[in-house]
Amino acid sequence: MILEIAEIHIPPGRQADFDEAIQRGIATVLSRSPGFLGWSVHKGHESPERYILQVRWAALEDHVPGFRESPLFAQWRAIVGPFFAEPPRVEHYHFVGEG
């Protein structure tokens, strides 16, 4: 499994609209992508215009190139992209362990 973590910044005052858009985008687009396993999204307490999106993928290839080079990516960006104050910072992580 691969964990994608995207740090997303949106303009102040757009939180309620973005909250709806990201959940709609996940439900209608992202969740249809092969290899998609699940997600979580968190909003900053001190910085409510900062979000952390975590997406679990079966393999890195399911996200890159899979989702990123599919028509679903354009649909996803059409829903959430208008809210971005800057390009999201995206990194991928491999599971090591937990306690």
Instruction: Give the start-to-end residue ranges of the domains of the chain.
Output: 2-94
Predicted confidence at residue 28, as pLDDT, reads 97
**CA torsion, ordered 10, 26, 98, 1, to nearest 10 deg:** -120
Predicted confidence at residue 85, as pLDDT, reads 98
Predicted confidence at residue 93, as pLDDT, reads 98
Predicted confidence at residue 64, as pLDDT, reads 96
Tens-digit pLDDT profile for residues 9-68: 999 999 999 999 999 999 999 999 999 999 999 999 999 999 999 999 999 999 999 999
Q: Which fold has domain 2-94?
A: Alpha-Beta Plaits (3.30.70)
Do 42 and 52 form a contact (C-beta atoms < 8 A)? yes
Q: What pTM, to 2 d.p., does this model score?
A: 0.94
Do 2 and 63 form a contact (C-beta atoms < 8 A)? yes
